[in-house]
Amino acid sequence: MFEHLLVPLDGSRLAEAALPAAATLAQTLGAGVTLVHVVERDAPQAIHGERHLTGPDEACAYLAEVAGRAFPKEPGVHVEQHVHSAEVSDVARSIVEHVSELGPDLIVMCAHGWGGLRSRLFGSIAQQIIGLGTTPVLLIQPTRGKAAPTFACRRLLVPLDGSPEHEQGLPVAIGLAQASAAALHLLVVVHTLSTLPGEQAAAGRLLPGATSALLDLRQQEAEEYLRRQAAAVQAAGLTVTAESRRGDPAKGIARTAKRVNADVIVLGTHGKSGMDAFWSNSVAPQVSSLSRVPVLLVPVREAKEE
């Protein structure tokens, strides 16, 4: 499972929302942790309404303080600090480059990033990191108060759509569940006629009867698909439940997460070159905007043709 966690920090309480999750996972998995700060060129004096780290000395002192405050000295948990002191204009790309340099297998960070709070995920540093990289990212939603949100890993919600590509997130969920003694809840959301997107919606308006029948068939296929996937998860020694539902996928995922008390939503999602390609037709930013549950995004790749 995850052996090395990378936690990007900018000095704000908002970014520190990632710390409880990183500390819990480090203790549970016996993983090492690297706290990282990248000095931004022409950095603002304040960010998220707080003073922003603007120099390497200040950043080093801050990361050392965080390491002592957020991570108990448990056996097997090693915390390091890394400050990239050379100023950069593209913080996201610099963090991705540090993934190759430092070798983490999971990035844990707040869903809101550097550069101002424009919207959840969209346009954020978190979005860019996922779009550019191949390493899973656990996005933590900050609380409105000053205290960082608590974190648990007892039930994982794993949305699927029948695509082998998106199933690449399932082994990650299984591994995390095994390490955390967690249960899995598998979910497939099948569109209704009124929630179809784009060209599918246009076709549905032209042929509503045929489209409705096709969607009903897809739900039947989804239920059989879920039975097969649940059996495979059970064979791995885990507790698993599964369901299919109808409606908008992002809303269905968010509502199910709340209803089943999910601690983490695990999504396999495309990590193609560039942000636009990564986020096109993706439910990930929608889910994060609709739910307060942490989202573990697993970048997947299209299978190459032989």
Q: Is the pLDDT of residue 108 over 60?
A: yes
Lookup: tokens for 125: 């540093």
Query: Which of 131, 127, 88, 109 is closest to 14 using CA atoms?
Result: 109
Q: Please state the pTM of the whole predicted model.
A: 0.89
Q: Do domains 4-140 and 155-300 have the same CATH topology?
A: yes
| Per-residue model confidence as pLDDT tens digits over 110-146 | 876 444 433 443 345 666 677 666 789 999 988 766 6
% of the chain residues with pLDDT over 90: 47
Query: Which of 96, 127, 109 is closest to 16 using CA atoms?
Result: 109
For the residues 139-163, what does the mean pLDDT come to? 85
Domain positions in the chain are: 4-140, 155-300
CA distance 268 to 170: 8
Superfamily covering domain 4-140: HUPs (3.40.50.620)
Q: How far is CA 57 from CA 61, 83, 88, in A?
A: 6, 9, 16
The domain defined by 155-300 folds into Rossmann fold (3.40.50)
% of the chain residues with pLDDT over 70: 82
Q: What is the DSSP string of 211-279?
A: HHHHHHHHHHHHHHHHHHHHHHHHHTT--EEEEEEES-HHHHHHHHHHHTT-SEEEEEEE--SSHHHHH
